[in-house]
């Protein structure tokens, strides 16, 4: 809009409302002589065409998906597209809505990147919010929010923030990265008000040798508090524009955007702008924060997800850390699926979009091609940021606007170009690319990397010629929203990395693939076109004919109820639900390929949305249920304590909903534990058996072996490493029970619901496989009336590797006539007096001969019927033990693998 730089009447009202706690002018001593002269003798009011914030209406309703999350107190705008499911909240606006708001973005549509729950800070707590400046400084500072307002000059700057994952969905379609699927709207611009970071750091006086400013927020996450770093000399440079901001478009920061205080680092990726700021630590080295190391990096394109997981050297190499944004652009109009009528068309169509650079570099040209890059034409560029420079030294949104002498460009620009409709009707696509003042130009082809960050190849939309219409198609749609020419080409068998966007051009030979195309397991049946509604799905949420959903496709679980390795309860608990997280996280490619057989149709879009909302509905209140676990709903549990048992083993204690509640886990069954990868937000799910008694109230203890990366660069355990870093007070999610075996007592057990009576158990385990064995053994031996016999064979490398040994020995002590416990080691010490070697043929022949144990036929002679072998350990152990036991005469139905 065209307006004077002096605040309008409406803006003055707004500033009075939101700036009551700000001093009317900065402290006089903080102004330079030139600034004081300008403020005392203001220049004549000049008509300047600057952008003021768009209308803003703060949301007042908590959305249904948020009600059962830690963010249940926080209202949000329903237009935002959720990128990581229900929680944590990561979102972008529809691209058309974002562009249409103009140069400045409202807080409602400003993109959100959260790694966990949002810290709740009440308004009355804000004046006393504290943060520190510490580390290599001569004068450490502890400052309150009130002190920040009273002691330092407040500045206002327009700044564009961009998530490093912007446009990542395009990379994920080519080959799955470890990051979630941003569209092209992971970018937003606002007027930020706060204190220049350099003013604070100079008062603290960094010591000689200090090179970095490490920042840490208040958001507590599985791997500690979120933190990162920037170079100290950048932070001290006023031309870099770094600030600690407390206002956005003239109003207090919203909770999702860092209320009450955040860092804003112009020209760099959004991940450097730490929200809910609590600490600034001046150091000689870059941050050692987990999120600085394992997030916001572009690893070399040849590094696969497997290699990045196996070899930590890639993550600690600071050369791959991202700071400045890359040059990028996108087309907003034509919008995705927009149609242009050719029956009576306008002579021209105005294509429009955005572009931005990094590190303060100005975008100097935006170019459009209608012939796949053979020729280009210049677009018009609107530099709205320049109008703020021309405005001079003025008060705006509670701070001083002083950009006259700043050359750096920290905002996006909008471009447009009129294209003849007659020409559009003869071409197949529109490309855009941008160049900055360093002649950095967007590349033609994608640079794929394991985290999917900084994606900036030419932005392409395709044109479909459909009779009297042209239909425009963007490359992708964000999150799990289907659509886009990339998905269409890939489904048709095209190689998106062939150098021609998956299409062969004019008979030319395709070039070598830029990126190896991921092998995707086909899980849908050929020719299955059935569309299924949520009402039909809900008719099959029972045990007699369970249907479940994976990635929007519906499967009939009835045929594999009997043979499922996890037992029938795994199928029943998924009936009528979206089981994508559990299925994709747990099952192998082999299991996934089998799903074609059971595929019966596709859930329609409205039903999928309804199913998602159902999954997000609030759970029952803690006092309503005597047991904690639910087979159909993930339940949150808080980590109370963490006890180290050995160098790689921990006991984690989690709180249940209330003090008298029991877990609700039958003896011999397991629960599923779910965390989300802090970077990719993909679900990490594993099954565990607690070591606490099934009668324990108010808590559950789980013994977990932590699989660290080894010297030979073997992959560490994704979930166990995340749990090991999990701070106390954080939550995980549980679901269950699962498993096909249950011990009922007195030799009675159930396998897939069918009861069986045995006279004894042979229990074979290794490593952490002892936990389900321990659970069953304890149930047998602690009941004096239970005469079931047991033989335990427990294999490990060294004596210190034997988990629960003291507990096992205590159970057996005094019950030797009912139970024999044998331990065997492959790397024993000289003092070891137990068995030596692996659990293999010779050992099993000596201690597990079939003739030495009762068989079902023995029941006729008055002996309790049969013996069952329970086995739990690594896959290689289970395979070899099965082979040996079958050769010793054991029947396959007598062997049960946990």
Which tokens in the block code for residue 61? 């309703």
Task: Give the Cα separation of 453 and 325 in Å (integer).
Answer: 10
**Could you say which of 172, 223, 296, 794 is catalytic?**
296
DSSP state of 368: E
Task: Give the Cα separation of 314 and 302 in Å (integer).
Answer: 12
Report the relative pairing of strands 699-705 and 649-655 from DSSP bridges: antiparallel
Report the relative pairing of strands 251-252 and 212-221 from DSSP bridges: unpaired
Pinpoint the alpha helices (H) of 529-640. 534-538, 568-572, 580-586, 589-594, 605-615
Question: Which residues have CB under 8 Å from 344's CB, separation 6+?
Answer: none
**Could you say which of 97, 219, 295, 578 is catalytic?**
295
Q: Is 163 annotated as a binding residue?
A: yes
Using an 8 Å Cβ cutoff, are 178 and 298 in contact? no
| C-beta neighbour count of 136 within 10 angstroms | 18
Using an 8 Å Cβ cutoff, are 135 and 283 in contact? yes
Pinpoint the alpha helices (H) of 102-245. 145-151, 168-174, 197-204, 232-236
163 is an active site residue: yes
Spatial CA neighbour of 420 closest among 477, 340, 479, 366: 340
Spatial CA neighbour of 160 closest among 455, 363, 458: 363
- What's the burial of 182, exposed, middle or buried (CB within 10 Å: 0-12/13-18/19+)? buried
Q: What are the start-end ranges of the E strands in 647-805?
A: 649-655, 670-676, 683-688, 699-705, 731-738, 741-745, 748-751, 754-757, 760-766, 789-796
Which tokens in the block code for residue 321? 């850390």
790 is an active site residue: no
CB-based contacts of 75-82 (< 8 A; 24+ apart in sequence): 76/256, 77/108, 77/109, 79/108, 79/109, 80/108, 80/109, 80/112, 81/183, 81/185, 81/478, 81/479, 81/481, 82/479
Q: Dihedral through CA 629, CA 631, CA 635, CA 639, nearest 10?
A: 50
Task: Give the Cα separation of 179 and 163 in Å (integer).
Answer: 12
What do you get for the CA distance between the two ends of the chain, in Å?
Answer: 68
Using an 8 Å Cβ cutoff, are 793 and 820 in contact? no
296 is an active site residue: yes
> Measured on CA atoms in the order 730, 733, 737, 739, is the torsion positive or negative?
negative
3-class SS string, 677-717: CCCCCCEEEEEECCCCCCCCECEEEEEEECCCCCCCCCCCC
- Binding positions are 163
- Binding positions for Mo-molybdopterin are 163
Catalytic residues: 163, 295-296
């Amino acid at each position: 809009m065209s307006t004077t730089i002096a605040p309008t009447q409406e803006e003055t009202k707004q500033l009075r409302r939101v700036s009551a706690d700000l001093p009317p002018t900065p402290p006089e001593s903080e102004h330079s002589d030139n600034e004081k002269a300008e403020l005392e003798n203001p220049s004549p009011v000049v008509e300047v065409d600057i952008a003021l914030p768009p209308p803003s209406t703060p949301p007042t309703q908590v959305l249904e998906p948020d009600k059962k999350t830690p963010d249940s107190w926080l209202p949000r705008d329903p237009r935002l597209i959720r990128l990581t499911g229900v929680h944590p909240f990561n979102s972008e606006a529809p691209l058309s809505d974002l562009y249409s708001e103009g140069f400045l973005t409202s807080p409602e549509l400003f993109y959100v990147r959260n790694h966990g729950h949002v810290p709740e800070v009440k308004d009355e707590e804000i004046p006393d919010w504290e943060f520190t400046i510490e580390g290599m400084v001569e004068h450490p500072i502890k400052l309150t929010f009130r002190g920040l307002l009273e002691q330092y000059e407040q500045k206002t700057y327009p700044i564009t923030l961009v998530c490093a994952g912007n446009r990542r969905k395009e990379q994920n379609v080519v080959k799955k990265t470890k990051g979630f699927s941003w569209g092209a709207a992971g970018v937003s611009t606002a007027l930020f008000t706060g204190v220049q970071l350099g003013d604070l750091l100079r008062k603290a006086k960094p010591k000689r040798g200090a090179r970095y400013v490490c920042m840490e927020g208040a958001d507590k996450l599985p791997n500690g508090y979120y933190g990162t770093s920037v170079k100290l000399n950048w932070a001290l440079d006023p031309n870099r524009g770094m600030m600690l901001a407390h206002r956005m478009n003239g109003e207090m920061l919203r909770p999702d955007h860092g209320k009450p205080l955040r860092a804003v680092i112009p020209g760099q990726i959004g991940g450097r702008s730490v929200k809910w700021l609590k600490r600034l630590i001046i150091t000689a080295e870059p941050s050692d924060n987990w999120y600085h190391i394992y997030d916001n990096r572009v690893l070399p394109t040849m590094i696969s997800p497997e290699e990045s997981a196996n070899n930590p050297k890639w993550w600690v190499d600071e050369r791959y850390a991202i700071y400045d944004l890359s040059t990028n652009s996108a087309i907003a109009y034509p919008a995705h699926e927009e149609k242009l009528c050719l029956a009576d068309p306008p002579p021209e169509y105005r294509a429009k979009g955005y572009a931005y650079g990094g590190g303060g570099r100005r975008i100097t040209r935006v170019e459009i091609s209608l012939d796949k890059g053979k020729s280009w034409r210049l677009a018009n560029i609107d530099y709205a940021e320049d109008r703020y420079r021309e405005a001079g030294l003025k008060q705006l949104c509670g701070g001083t606007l002083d950009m006259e002498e700043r050359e750096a460009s920290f905002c996006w620009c909008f471009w447009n170009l009129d294209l003849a409709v007659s020409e559009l009707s003869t071409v197949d696509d529109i490309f855009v690319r941008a160049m900055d003042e360093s002649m950095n130009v967007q590349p033609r082809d994608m640079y794929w990397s394991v985290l999917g960050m900084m994606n900036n190849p030419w932005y392409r939309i395709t044109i479909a010629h459909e009779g009297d219409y042209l239909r425009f198609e963007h490359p992708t749609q964000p999150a799990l929203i289907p659509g886009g020419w990339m998905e269409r080409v890939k489904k048709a068998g095209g190689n998106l990395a062939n150098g021609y966007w998956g299409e062969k051009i004019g008979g030319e030979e395709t070039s070598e693939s830029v990126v190896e195309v991921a092998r995707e397991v086909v899980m849908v049946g050929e020719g299955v076109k059935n569309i299924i509604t949520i009402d039909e799905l809900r008719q099959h949420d029972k045990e007699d004919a369970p249907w479940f959903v994976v990635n929007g496709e519906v499967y009939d679980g009835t045929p594999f109820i009997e043979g499922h390795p996890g037992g029938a309860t795994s199928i029943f608990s998924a009936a009528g639900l979206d089981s994508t997280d559990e299925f994709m996280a747990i099952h192998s490619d082999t299991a996934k390929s089998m799903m074609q057989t059971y595929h019966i149709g596709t859930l329609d879009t409205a039903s999928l949305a309804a199913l998602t909302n159902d999954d997000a509905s609030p759970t029952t209140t803690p006092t309503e249920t005597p047991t904690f676990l639910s087979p159909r709903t993930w339940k949150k549990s808080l980590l109370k304590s963490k006890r180290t048992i050995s160098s790689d083993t921990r006991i984690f204690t989690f709180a249940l909903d209330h003090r008298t509640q029991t877990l609700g886990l039958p003896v011999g069954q397991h629960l599923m534990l779910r965390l989300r990868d802090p970077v990719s937000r993909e679900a990490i799910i594993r099954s565990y058996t607690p070591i606490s008694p099934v009668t324990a109230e108010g808590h559950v203890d789980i013994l977990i072996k932590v699989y660290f990366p080894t010297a030979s660069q073997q992959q560490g355990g994704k979930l166990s490493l995340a749990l090991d870093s999990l701070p106390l007070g954080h939550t995980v999610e549980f679901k269950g029970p699962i498993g096909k075996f249950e011990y009922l007592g007195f030799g009675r057990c159930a396998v897939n619901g069918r009861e069986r009576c045995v006279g004894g158990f042979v229990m074979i385990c290794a490593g952490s496989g002892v936990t389900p064995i321990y659970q069953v053994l304890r149930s047998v031996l602690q009941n004096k009336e239970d005469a079931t016999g047991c033989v335990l064979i427990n294999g490990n490398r060294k004596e210190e590797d034997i988990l629960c040994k003291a507990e096992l020995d205590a159970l057996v002590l005094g019950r030797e006539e009912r139970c024999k416990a044998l331990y065997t080691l492959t790397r024993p010490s000289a003092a070891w007096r137990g068995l030596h070697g692996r659990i293999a043929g010779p050992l099993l022949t000596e201690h597990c001969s079939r003739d030495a144990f009762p068989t079902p036929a023995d029941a006729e002679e008055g002996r309790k019927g049969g013996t069952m072998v329970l086995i739990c350990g690594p896959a290689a152990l289970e395979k070899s033990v099965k082979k040996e036991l079958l050769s010793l005469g054991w029947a396959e139905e007598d062997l049960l693998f946990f």
